[in-house]
Each structure stands twice: as C-alpha cells, then as structure tokens.
Amino acid sequence: MAAGIYAGIDIGSLSSEALLLGQDGVLAYSIMSTGANPRRAARKCLEEALAKAVLDEKAISAVVATGYGRIRVPFADREVTEITCHARGAHFLFPRTRTVIDIGGQDSKVITLDEQGRVSDFVMNDKCAAGTGRFLEVMAAALETELTDMGRRSLHAKRGVSISSMCTVFAESEVISLIAEGYGEGEIVRGLHEAICRRIFSMTRRLRVREEITLSGGVAKNQGISETLKALFGMRINVPEEPQIVGALGAALYARDMEFKEG
C-alpha cells in the first residue's frame, strides 16, 4: 500500500465518522448515522470520505477504529479506545489542551491530559442518557423545536427555568409541564442547558481540571452548552470547527503512528 494516507473510523452509538489524514493535514471526513448496523456504517463512512478526497482505498496505509463499535470494523488494523482518541485529537487541534469534555450521543466524559496529550485521568457517565445528545433530542421533540436551534434560543433567554430532574423520562414530563405553565421556550432550553452543564461540572470533582478545555462530540456545536460551561469552569473553552470528528482524527493519528513504528 502507498504510504501517506491514514484513516480513523469512530463508530458511536448515534453517529459514525471517518477521517482521512495526509501528510499536510485532514484530507476529508464523513459523518453519518450509525443506525442498526455499525459495520455497514463504518464501510459507508469510509467510502464517502474516500469519494470526497478522490482517493482509492488502496491508498490507505493504516486504519484505526475507535468508539463503542470499534470491534465491528473488520477492515481496521487496530482498535483504540475513544477516551484515548478524543484526547489525542483534541491535543492535536489545540496543543495547550489539558482537559477534554466529550459529550456524545449516549454518554459524556471528562478527560485530563498531560503536556504531551496523554490521558492522565478521566471520569465517564455511561449509566444513563442524562446530559447527552440523546437527552437533548428528546427535549427538542418535547419542545417541538429543532435540535440545531436550541443553542440560539438558550442564549436569547434572560434566565433559565430550574429543571429538577436529569432522568430523560422525568425531564421530558417536567418540560411538558413547564410549557403548560406558560414558561417560554428559551427559558426552558436555557434551564436544560444549565442542568446539563452542572451535571458535567459535578463529574469533575475528583479530577484536576486545568486550562485549556476543549469540547468534542456533536453537543459541542450547541453554543448554549459551550457558553454555560465556560461560565461554570471560568476557563478558556475551545470548540473545534467540527467537534464530531475529534475522535476519528485521534484514531487517524494513531494509524499514522503505526506506520512510523513499523517502518
């Protein structure tokens, strides 16, 4: 195989990403729904990224898979945990990163790094959907609003309504009740964002959180979340141009390492 092209495949619970890394940086990437077949999603994602880069699969030197479905990528040369890959990708994009907050489809993680970008500690919420992309999807449906519009609505609200439950089922019922009581959509959305961010902030109690903080995962696109986290932590918050590909980028970087080590 020709040297110089490395692929990272991140198979998440809700979305999958494929990224192609060349000697001069990211060549192309693809994002799509994982659906019920992670293996098929991995293949389709890679094919789409290759098409965007106008490359043949034979040009790829190494493939590393990450994410919860990484064992379902038969064409991967190696599997690396998503915690390690998100840390590596975030540190590559923002070398001063010392903390990564990854809010995914069905879990959230806070990862601390050393100066070389290696994981020093982490905490993870994977027991329920509270504070995740799926949680926000359910709340957007209850509010009959677009998920992509929640950040703007949150920032335009002067205050947030207190949300007492972070259980997805109970929070949905609470949101419906707040609507019936006459609270504005923006106030409710801001209250949801504040509740999510307080939960993430509480996850970090045993960690040594340091600047800079970098967000990853699809929820990082929500400006209401990033601004609320910035206020809570009182630190610089980096948001990548496309936060959903941070894990796939980290995987591609590990694929590049493989060739160098083997060579």
Q: Give the Cα separation of 76 and 78 in Å (integer).
A: 5
Sign of CA dihedral 181, 187, 193, 194: negative
100 within domain boundaries: yes
90 within domain boundaries: no
* 60-66/5-11 β-pairing: parallel
SS3 253: helix
91 within domain boundaries: no
Residue type, 176: I
On whether the CB atoms of residues 46 and 57 are closer than 8 A, the answer is: yes
149 and 201 belong to one structural domain? yes
- Is residue 4 scored above 50 in pLDDT? yes
Give the relative orientation of helices 133-143 and 168-180 as an angle to the nearest 10 degrees: 30
58 and 119 belong to one structural domain? no
107 and 76 belong to one structural domain? no
Residue type, 118: R
Structure tokens at 91: 């540190």
138 within domain boundaries: yes
148 and 232 belong to one structural domain? yes
Q: Give the Cα separation of 14 and 28 in Å (integer).
A: 21
Model confidence at 263, pLDDT cuts 50, 70, 90, reads very low
60 and 149 belong to one structural domain? no
127 and 183 belong to one structural domain? yes
Model confidence at 104, pLDDT cuts 50, 70, 90, reads confident
139 and 49 belong to one structural domain? no
pTM above 0.75, yes or no: yes
127 and 208 belong to one structural domain? yes
**CATH number of the domain that 152 lies in?**
3.30.420.40
On whether the CB atoms of residues 6 and 60 are closer than 8 A, the answer is: yes
Total count of domains within the chain: 2
137 and 219 belong to one structural domain? yes
Q: Give the Cα separation of 75 and 67 in Å (integer).
A: 15
Place of tokens 């043949």: 56
* pLDDT score of 261: 65
73 within domain boundaries: yes
101 and 149 belong to one structural domain? yes
Model confidence at 167, pLDDT cuts 50, 70, 90, reads confident
Exposure on the CB side of residue 54, measured as CA atoms within 13 A: 0
Q: Give the Cα separation of 118 and 147 in Å (integer).
A: 33
Model confidence at 175, pLDDT cuts 50, 70, 90, reads very high
Structure tokens at 63: 């493939």
89 within domain boundaries: no
159 within domain boundaries: yes
In sequence order, the β-bridge partners of residue 25 are 22
233 and 122 belong to one structural domain? yes
104 and 231 belong to one structural domain? yes
On whether the CB atoms of residues 52 and 5 are closer than 8 A, the answer is: no
158 within domain boundaries: yes
Q: Which domain holds residue 249?
A: 5-84+245-262
* 213-216/237-238 β-pairing: parallel
Q: For residues 240-258, give the mean pLDDT.
A: 96
- Is residue 131 scored above 90 in pLDDT? no
Q: For residues 210-231, give the mean pLDDT.
A: 95
SS3 242: coil
| Opening angle at CA 40, ends 35 and 41, nearest 5 | 55
* Number of helical H runs and strand E runs in the chain: 8, 10
